């Protein structure tokens, strides 16, 4: 509407009274004046109602942008994060951290006038309280499918931003965690740990996952303790997993979340001898879901035998309580802190004492090595892969009698990987003696190994020829010998012979050695193979 009609006086009542002091005021003029006043007053009230509420405050919606002076700023031009060396104009806006500032004057920015310098800047908003704190956005707070790839900046969702266990399979797009470089980059290195593995993801032959053996010695006792790869006792947040056969064509995974160990008490030899190299295997047994650790010396050797106990994981084993009294003294017996009967086991590892213990059962020296079982590690009784083989393709002839003498060409060295391991030796000769029988011996250094018990003038031998009058005959002499050299250095084995009386020994040929069809020239050999103790 137009502005209210201004009031203009229409009649001069003062002049009228001066001229006619005895006459009353003219009524029509009084009415006209009052009507003019009323008109202006009424229009003023109508206009006032448009800008003032009944409570006296300014009426809503009346102040618009074109109502303000050009010199009055109602916003700011955001220039981004504050930086030095920028010409900022009055009312330019910048951000420093989570606070927004507006320039109070135009200026060239520098360290001397940067926010929060109140001479140059007004703080207009602080959004710190609006920041999303770690763990505050849960699955329930986000609508399904609301967070698309386009909504997330690369690297924006860090581990600290996600509530534990809230990233489920349904929340991950197909192919997002692929094996290529892009997919791998979405996962922190080492994030998939033992706790995150489902039983179906564990290979059936794994043995132990996230576990290692740590040995300590206290009071003459040796303790074999299970630790995680972090060096701590297993826990709910850092468990160790064991895989066992179940005997029905499948396997089970057992989770260990507490300390687990087995101890050889002071005085318990486990079958070891004073000063003799030995190996102790560490096994785990599935005792109805409870995992037991066991220790066992698998070899038992003597002058007449060399036996290795199998630790086949397909077979059930029993364990004997170690007892803690220093009486666990038998080889080929699994000792555990708690006895168990007919349970499946898995191999955990072994510890070697290559020089043995001066007093077996004293447990006063650390092992030479402790090794976890796994691919590339032979089981007890299996070849280690360390093998030596020599062949004598030519002939050997000697008339030396009455003393053990080398068969030239049948000598070979082997260096065992462990002093506890055994050596399997297979000498094989094709020979002929013309007068009397010949005996053959296998000698390690100066020790006769694998031969019979001999006394007086007799010779310990693994085999020999018999007297044959046919000069075109040949005899095969062979043996399989298991030796315990107790060494980790190059060890020499040689084949020797002894003639009973003056005569002649021929190796790889007959006595007559006739140059005729059907008369052979032969080969002899010596094979050495290291066997896991």
Q: Which position has the token pair 């109140």?
A: 118
Closest by alpha carbon to 293, among 366, 245, 238, 349?
349
Residues 472 and 451: their CA atoms lie apart, in Å, by 28
CA distance 339 to 328: 13
**Equal fold, 78-130 vs 384-531:** no
- Tell me: the pLDDT tens digits for 205-234? 768 999 999 999 999 999 999 999 999 999
Pairing of strands 212-218, 221-227: antiparallel
Q: Which residue has the higher pLDDT, 151 or 302?
A: 302
Question: Above pLDDT 70, what percent of the chain?
Answer: 89
Return the sign of the alpha-carbon dihedral for residues 533, 365, 214, 342: positive
- The three state secondary structure string of 444-490 is ECCEEECCCCCCCCCCCCCEECCCCCCCCCCEEEECCEEECCCCCCC
9 vs 19: CA distance, rounded Å: 19
Alpha-carbon distance 392 to 383, whole Å?
24
| Residue 249 scores a pLDDT above 90 | yes
Q: How far apart are CA 351 and CA 358, in angstroms?
A: 17
Quick one: which H or E segment has residue 398?
strand 396-398
Is residue 524 packed enough to be buried (19+ CB in 10 Å), middle (13-18) or exposed (0-12)? Answer: buried
For the residues 451-458, what does the mean pLDDT come to?
90
Among the listed ranges 57-61, 107-111, 118-122, 168-172, which one has the minimum average pLDDT value?
168-172
> Mean per-residue pLDDT for 105-114?
96
Q: How many CA atoms lie within 13 A of 175 on its CB side?
A: 1
- Per the model's pLDDT, the better-predicted residue between 333 and 24 turns out to be 333
Contact 13, 28 (CB under 8 A): no
Confidence of residue 134 (pLDDT cuts 50, 70, 90): confident
Q: Report yes or no: 294 and 284 within 8 Å, Cβ to Cβ.
A: yes
- Listed residue (420, 417, 423, 386) closest to 488, CA to CA: 417
> Residues 462-504: pLDDT tens digits?
999 987 778 888 999 999 999 999 999 999 999 999 998 888 9
Tell me, what's the pLDDT at 499? 92
- Domain borders along the chain are 1-66, 78-130, 201-378, 384-531
Secondary structure (3-state) at 208: strand
Write the CA distances from 190 to 168, 185, 196, 212, 369, integer angstroms: 19, 12, 11, 17, 27
> 384-531: which CATH architecture?
Sandwich (2.60)
Dihedral sign computed on CA atoms, order 137, 138, 143, 144:
positive
Q: What is the DSSP string of 77-124?
A: EEEEE--TT-EEPTTEEEEETTEEEEESS-EE--TTS-TT-TTTEEEE
Cβ count within 10 A of residue 172: 11
Does the structure show a pLDDT above 70 at 144?
yes
Closest CA to 276 of 490, 532, 484, 493: 484
Tokens of 237: 């947040």
DSSP codes, 222-277? EEEEEE-TTSS---SSS-EEEEEE-SSS-EEEEEE-S-EEEEE-TT--TT--TT--
Indicate whether 422 pLDDT > 80.
yes
CB 371 within 8 A of CB 350: yes
Closest CA to 367 of 259, 295, 285: 295
- Mean pLDDT check: name the lowest of 3-17, 115-129, 330-344: 3-17
For residue 485, give the nearest of 451, 439, 431, 530 by alpha carbon.
530
Do residues 224 and 263 lie in contact, with contact meaning Cβ atoms separated by under 8 Å?
A: yes
pLDDT digits (tens, 9 = 90+) for 286-319: 999 999 999 999 999 998 889 999 999 999 999 9
Which position has the token pair 């004057």?
Answer: 105
CATH architecture of 78-130: Ribbon (2.10)
Q: Average pLDDT, stretch 343-347?
A: 98
pTM for the structure as a whole: 0.68
> pLDDT exceeding 90 applies to what percent of the chain?
63
Tokens representing 5 are: 């009609």
What secondary structure letter does DSSP report for 160?
G
């Amino acid at each position: 509407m137009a502005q209210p009609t201004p009031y203009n006086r229409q009649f001069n009542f003062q002049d009228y009274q001066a001229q006619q002091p005895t006459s009353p005021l003219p009524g029509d003029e009084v009415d006209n004046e009052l009507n003019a006043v009323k008109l202006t007053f009424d229009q003023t009230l109508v206009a006032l109602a448009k800008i003032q509420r009944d409570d006296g405050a300014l009426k809503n919606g009346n102040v618009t942008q074109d109502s303000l002076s050009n010199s009055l700023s109602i916003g700011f031009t955001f220039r981004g994060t504050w930086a030095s060396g920028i010409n900022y104009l009055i009312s330019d806006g910048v951000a420093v951290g989570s606070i927004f500032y507006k320039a109070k004057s135009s200026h060239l920015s520098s360290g001397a006038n940067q926010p929060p310098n109140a001479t140059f800047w007004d703080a207009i908003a602080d959004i710190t309280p609006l920041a999303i704190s770690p763990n505050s956005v849960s699955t329930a707070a986000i609508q399904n499918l609301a967070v698309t790839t386009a909504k997330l900046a690369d690297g924006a969702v860090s581990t600290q931003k996600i509530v534990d266990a809230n990233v489920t399979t349904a929340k991950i797009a197909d192919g997002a965690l692929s094996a290529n470089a892009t997919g791998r980059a979405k996962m922190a290195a080492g994030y998939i740990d033992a706790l995150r593995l489902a039983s179906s993801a564990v290979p059936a032959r794994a043995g132990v996952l996230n576990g290692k053996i740590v040995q300590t010695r206290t009071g003459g006792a040796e303790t074999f303790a299970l630790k995680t790869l972090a060096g701590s006792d297993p826990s709910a947040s850092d468990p160790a997993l064991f895989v066992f056969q179940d005997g029905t064509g499948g396997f089970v995974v057992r989770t260990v979340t507490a300390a687990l160990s087995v101890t050889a008490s002071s005085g318990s030899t486990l079958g070891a001898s004073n000063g003799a190299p030995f190996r102790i295997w560490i096994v785990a047994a599935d005792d109805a879901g409870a995992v037991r650790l066991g220790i066992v010396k698998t070899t038992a050797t003597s002058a007449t035998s060399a036996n290795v106990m199998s630790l086949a994981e397909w077979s059930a084993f029993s364990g004997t309580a170690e007892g803690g009294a220093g009486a666990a003294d038998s080889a080929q017996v699994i000792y555990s802190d708690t006895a168990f009967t007919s349970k499946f086991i898995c191999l955990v590892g072994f510890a070697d004492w290559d020089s043995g213990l001066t007093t077996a059962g004293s447990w006063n020296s650390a092992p030479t090595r402790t090794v976890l079982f796994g691919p590339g590690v032979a089981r007890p009784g299996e070849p280690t892969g360390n093998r030596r083989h020599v062949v004598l393709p030519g002939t050997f002839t000697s008339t030396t009698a009455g003393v053990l003498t080398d068969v030239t060409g049948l000598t070979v060295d082997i260096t065992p990987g462990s002093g506890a391991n055994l050596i399997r030796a297979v000498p094989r000769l094709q020979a002929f003696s013309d007068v009397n029988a010949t005996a053959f011996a296998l000698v390690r250094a100066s020790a006769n190994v694998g031969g019979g018990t001999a006394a007086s003038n007799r010779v310990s031998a693994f085999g020999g020829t018999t007297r044959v009058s046919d000069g075109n005959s040949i005899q095969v002499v062979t043996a399989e010998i298991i030796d315990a050299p107790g060494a980790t250095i190059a060890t020499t084995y040689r084949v020797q012979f002894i003639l009973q009386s003056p005569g002649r020994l021929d190796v790889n040929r007959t006595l007559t050695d006739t140059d005729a069809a059907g008369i052979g020239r032969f080969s002899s050999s010596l094979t050495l193979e290291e066997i896991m103790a």
